[in-house]
Amino acid sequence: MKAANKSRIEVEPDRSAFLATTPEDVAARGWEQVDVLFVSGDAYVDHPSFAMSILGRWLEAHGFRVAILSQPDWRSADAWRAFAPPRLFCAVSAGNMDSMINHFTANKKRRNADAYSPGGKIGLRPDRPTAVYAQRCREAFKGVPVISGGVEASLRRIAHYDYWSDRVWPSNLVTSKADLLGYGMGEATMLEIAQRLDRGEGLASLRDLAGVAYLLGKNEELPEAENWDEAGQPIELPSFETVQEDMQAFANMTRQLHHETNPRNARRLVQRHGDRRVVINPPAASLDEPTMDRIHELPYTRRPHPDYDAPPPAWETIRDSVQIMRGCFGGCTFCSITMHQGREIQSRSPDSILREVEALAKAPGFKGSISDLGGPTANMYRMRCTKPKVEAVCRRLSCVHPKVCKLLDTDHSPTLDLMRRARNVDGVKRVHIASGIRMDLAANEPEYLDELAAHHVGGHLKVAPEHVSESVLSLMKKPAQGSFEIFAERFNEASKRAGKEQYLVPYFISSHPGSSPEDMIELAIFLKERGYRPRQVQDFIPAPMDIATCMYWTGIDPMTMKPVKTAKRLQDRQVQRALLQFFAPENWKMVKDTLLRAGREDLIGEGPDCLIPSRQPRIQSHGGGGGRPGGGKPGGEKRGGYRRPSRDRGQGR
The answer to whether residues 390 and 245 belong to one domain is no
**Vertex 629 angle, CA 626 and 630, to 5°:** 90
Domain stops at, among 229, 249, 280 = 280
The answer to whether residues 273 and 209 belong to one domain is yes
Domain stops at, among 415, 441, 467 = 441
Contact between residue 269 and residue 237 where contact means Cβ atoms under 8 Å apart = yes
Largest CA distance in the chain: 78
The answer as to whether 33 is a domain residue is yes
CATH number at residue 406: 3.30.750.210
The answer to whether residues 418 and 497 belong to one domain is no
- When pLDDT is cut at 50, 70 and 90, the band that residue 223 belongs to is confident
Q: Pick the closest to residue 303 from 373, 372, 366, 358 (CA basis).
A: 366
The answer to whether residues 516 and 488 belong to one domain is yes
The answer as to whether 287 is a domain residue is no
The answer to whether residues 177 and 29 belong to one domain is yes
Q: How many whole angstroms separate alpha carbon 265 and alpha carbon 278?
A: 20
Residue 230 is predicted with a pLDDT of 65
The answer to whether residues 237 and 273 belong to one domain is yes
Residue 169 has pLDDT above 80, yes or no: yes
Residues in the chain: 653
The answer to whether residues 541 and 421 belong to one domain is no
The answer to whether residues 534 and 437 belong to one domain is no
Averaged pLDDT score across all residues of the chain = 91
Q: How many whole angstroms separate alpha carbon 421 and alpha carbon 13?
A: 29
Q: What is the pTM of this model?
A: 0.91
Residue 226 is predicted with a pLDDT of 64
The answer to whether residues 578 and 628 belong to one domain is yes
Bond prior to 283 in cis (omega within 30° of 0): no
C-alpha separations of 496 from 440, 450, 490, 636 in Å:
21, 10, 10, 35
What radius of gyration do the chain's Cα atoms show? 25
Residue 12 is predicted with a pLDDT of 65
Domain stops at, among 441, 465, 493 = 441
pLDDT top residue among 193 and 231: 193
Exposure class string for 351-362: b at 16+ Cβ within 10 A, else e: ebbbbbbeebbe
**What single-letter amino acid sits at 194?**
A
The answer as to whether 292 is a domain residue is no
Lowest mean pLDDT among 31-45, 397-411, 618-632, 637-651: 637-651
CATH number at residue 562: 3.30.750.200
3-state secondary structure 447-488: HHHHHHHHHCCCCEEEEEEECCCHHHHHHHCCCCHHHHHHHH
The answer to whether residues 379 and 408 belong to one domain is yes
The answer as to whether 199 is a domain residue is yes
Total domains in the chain come to 3
Q: How many whole angstroms separate alpha carbon 253 and alpha carbon 243?
A: 8
- When pLDDT is cut at 50, 70 and 90, the band that residue 7 belongs to is very low
Lowest mean pLDDT among 197-211, 420-434, 457-471, 639-653: 639-653
The answer to whether residues 180 and 244 belong to one domain is yes
Q: How many whole angstroms separate alpha carbon 111 and alpha carbon 216?
A: 37
The answer as to whether 306 is a domain residue is no
- Beta-strand pair 146-149/180-182: parallel
The answer as to whether 39 is a domain residue is yes
Residue 9 has pLDDT above 60, yes or no: no
pLDDT top residue among 352 and 481: 352
Q: Pick the closest to residue 21 from 49, 50, 5, 43 (CA basis).
A: 43
Q: How many CB atoms lie within 10 A of CB 226?
A: 9
- When pLDDT is cut at 50, 70 and 90, the band that residue 291 belongs to is very high
Side-chain-side CA neighbours of residue 384 (13 Å): 18
| Domain range enclosing 372 | 320-441
Contact between residue 520 and residue 466 where contact means Cβ atoms under 8 Å apart = no
Residue 627 has pLDDT above 60, yes or no: no
DSSP summary character for residue 334:
T
DSSP summary character for residue 5:
G
The answer as to whether 288 is a domain residue is no
The answer as to whether 450 is a domain residue is no
Residue 1 has pLDDT above 60, yes or no: no
- When pLDDT is cut at 50, 70 and 90, the band that residue 462 belongs to is confident
Rounding to the nearest 10 degrees, give the CA dihedral for residues 268, 269, 271, 277: -20
The answer to whether residues 335 and 265 belong to one domain is no
